[in-house]
Amino acid sequence: MVKSIQFNFAVSPKGEYRSIVQEEQDSIPRYDDVKGYGFVDKTCAQPPREVHVEQIVPSQEGYTISEARFVNREEAGENDFNHFGLCFRVKAGPGAYRVQVRTTSSLEGTRIAISGMNADELLNVDYWDAARLVPNRTRVFQEQNVWSYDYVNGREYIDIEIEPRRLQSPVGIAELVLTPIPIYLRPESKRPTLFTLGDSTVKSYIFMEAPMSGWGQVFDDLFDSRQVSVINYAMGGRSFKSAYTEGRFNDILLTGYAGDVVLIQFGHNDESHDEDHRFGRGATEEMYRTYIREFYIPAIRSRQMIPMLVTPMARVDGEAPPGHVYTDSFRVRKFPVIMRELAEELNVPLIDLNRESLRYYNEIGIEGTTAVFMSIEAGETPAKTNDGSFANGHPACKIDGTHFKESLSKPFARIVATCLVQLGEQGELDVARVASWLKPEVQAAIREQDWSAIYPEKAADTMTGRGAYYRNQIEKLVQLGILGLDEQSFFHPEAIMSVGEFRLALSRLLNLDPDEIKQNLAEGTLSRELMGSMLQDAFDAKFSMDALPAYMTDYNGEAIIPELPEYDPHLAPDQRGLMYYPLVSFEQLQDTVDIDPVLYNKVKKAYTLGLLRSEKGIERGQVRNGYELEPKAWVTREKAAKSLYYMWVLYHPIEVENDLSVLKAGSVHPVE
């Protein structure tokens, strides 16, 4: 039977509980390694947090403390504050424990946390991912004055932190019980699990964020689901510190079974310059070492799970000039170097995505690399980022050299899988086991160095140079079976699109009868005005003006949108704010007189709804609209792919994962 560690802080003894009594000269019992318990004046958090031992007062019910002042750093918001309080430390080695605290004060006025974790985050997280598919299974239990949480420790001791939420409001500890939680042995009927944990570059994204993608989102596609479950716990903005303090990492360890694998990549947000904030994301190099060496690896191993590390890929310069050679972006805080050193020291398998990412960037060149990162121009996607809608270009007015599209997340997933196989072949038995879970065709692709069967959507003429500009849209449309490649796997991005192919592609994309797109010209080349007319037909068949897609209604900030009476069609673009709808109104376009009168109303409506936008004068990395619609201009295949991708995103609910590939099987039709 597992024996609990029990402490009683009240005056009256309690059964087998160890009584915490005042020491000589009425002093508060302080921690020492020999005794193995006691109060401390600094927590084990990174960085350590000051607490007040001298102000602790023994009472009949337990040990209490009241604070006359708090420290709140306003510029840090909710991430940096100290309400001081008390901290009781218990010597307890790596492993899982049910931590049960009985307080002398009401839980409503008391913050309770374990070893530097964030008490409020522990209470408020329901799901770990954007699509709400990965639930938080490790919850805080609260009833009357009892607080309980299951915690996996990686260090040699556990801190119990108790803080007041209000000034001059006493809080305290009456009882503490630590009960070891046994290792979970996986039932024979249950598959092993491969957990991925990381930041936004590993995260699974939803359509609201398209085209952003993380390699963890597409990694599961490479594995045989009959042999293994792959669960992605990654989320944007996370670091070693924040994934620990919010309980994300802890939940993995209490969800998994012995023999499960935890694949971890952090480093980008660890570069943040808030390492001195209580709940910041940043870390010094020494803090980064501490989290890996003392928090993560021993905690994983204490559950008999298998840790594996992935060095963070290098960021890129979105404004890289011709001839630029990509080098490691971690020049100040050398986190990849530290991770390599610790992997060797701790005998942890390491996948060096940092080095391999640089090799890949330089292989596909500047144009190819810039295209697959978050370089966005007007009309590429109706989705949004934290700064606002992407529909008129990147609202942060930059080419984002950290985040990327699915056309790069797949190569990263391929690199990670390839490294797993290579490490396994070098004698890493745990890694060889993981590699054996890859689909047979993926193992063959790695062995033969030919991934064309895994990623048949890759076009030979969109990998590098000018042809790579719309690579992401092209690959998605080919993957869906909406557009096709020729026998040599060429897409011909600058060839002119035909009316018939676009009409068929649009109807299949939105699951429409082609007759619902009323432009019945099956032959001939596609002009922009014809494309606009067909886009409007498709929109009318799929949507209602009374129930517009959320992309059109929810992400426009304070902007006045065209449906509102106070909308001013003559307002300057830079005065409209960040919004979904075109910043240049239809009335401000300079060539609308050239539109075929038969198509005029549909083209106007398509433009007003943002389905058709100016392609002249726009630029990636800028919020910029053109003043010419060019209605008679021919539409190239790459521009058609851009428009079709936009409609594909618009068609999907905002909270569904955006890596869907539902039409890819057997539906690719040849280039006309």
| Inter-CA distances, 653 with 286, 530, 650, 658, Å | 43, 27, 8, 10
So what's the pLDDT on residue 664? 31
Q: 113 forms bridges with which residues in the sheet?
A: 161
So what's the pLDDT on residue 670? 35
211-268 pLDDT, tens digit each: 999 999 999 999 999 999 999 999 999 999 999 999 999 999 999 999 999 999 999 9
Share of the chain above pLDDT 70, in %: 96
CA quadruple 492, 495, 500, 505: dihedral, nearest 10: 40
350-359 pLDDT, tens digit each: 999 999 999 9
Q: Which residues of 522-554 are buried (b: 16+ CB within 10 A; e: fewer)?
A: eeeebbbbbbbbbbbbbbbbebeeeebbbbbee
Q: What's the burial of 471, exposed, middle or buried (CB within 10 Å: 0-12/13-18/19+)? A: buried
Higher pLDDT, 515 or 250: 250
Average pLDDT, the chain: 95
pLDDT value at 592 more than 50: yes
So what's the pLDDT on residue 562? 87
Summarize the confidence of residues 482-502 as an average pLDDT: 97
Confidence of residue 523 (pLDDT cuts 50, 70, 90): confident
Share of the chain above pLDDT 90, in %: 89
Confidence of residue 76 (pLDDT cuts 50, 70, 90): low
Q: What is the DSSP letter of 341?
A: H
CA nearest neighbour of 229 among 196, 206, 197: 196
Strand, helix or coil for residue 421: helix
Give the amino acid at 104: T
The C-alpha atoms of residue 452 and residue 445 are separated, in whole angstroms, by: 8
CA quadruple 385, 402, 213, 475: dihedral, nearest 10: 110
Summarize the confidence of residues 630-651 as an average pLDDT: 98
SS3 content of the chain, % helix, strand, coil (to 5): 30, 20, 50
Least confident window among 181-195, 555-569, 601-615: 555-569
Backbone angles phi, psi at 233, to 5 degrees: -95, 5
So what's the pLDDT on residue 504? 95
367-398 pLDDT, tens digit each: 999 999 999 999 999 999 988 999 999 999 99
| Inter-CA distances, 163 with 34, 147, 171, 578, Å | 27, 13, 7, 42
Q: Hey, what domains does the chain have and what are their CATH numbers?
A: 5-181 (2.60.120.430), 193-354+402-440 (3.40.50.1110)
CA nearest neighbour of 442 among 474, 471, 464, 410: 410
Higher pLDDT, 77 or 64: 64
So what's the pLDDT on residue 6? 97
Confidence of residue 190 (pLDDT cuts 50, 70, 90): very high
So what's the pLDDT on residue 281? 96
For the entire predicted model, the pTM comes to 0.95
The C-alpha atoms of residue 500 and residue 526 are separated, in whole angstroms, by: 8
So what's the pLDDT on residue 256? 98
So what's the pLDDT on residue 290? 98
pLDDT value at 642 more than 50: yes
pLDDT value at 26 more than 80: no
Around 446, how many Cα atoms within 13 Å sit in the side-chain half-sphere?
22
So what's the pLDDT on residue 661? 77
Give the amino acid at 107: L
Strand, helix or coil for residue 451: coil
400-437 pLDDT, tens digit each: 999 999 999 999 999 999 999 999 999 999 999 999 99
The C-alpha atoms of residue 288 and residue 647 are separated, in whole angstroms, by: 43
Summarize the confidence of residues 172-187 as an average pLDDT: 98
Around 274, how many Cα atoms within 13 Å sit in the side-chain half-sphere?
21
Summarize the confidence of residues 295-322 as an average pLDDT: 98
The C-alpha atoms of residue 669 and residue 672 are separated, in whole angstroms, by: 9
So what's the pLDDT on residue 483? 98
Summarize the confidence of residues 195-199 as an average pLDDT: 99
Confidence of residue 79 (pLDDT cuts 50, 70, 90): confident
Backbone angles phi, psi at 159, to 5 degrees: -100, 135
Summarize the confidence of residues 17-40 as an average pLDDT: 89
107-126 pLDDT, tens digit each: 999 999 999 999 999 999 99
pLDDT value at 669 more than 50: no
Q: Where do we find the tokens 């994300």?
A: 248
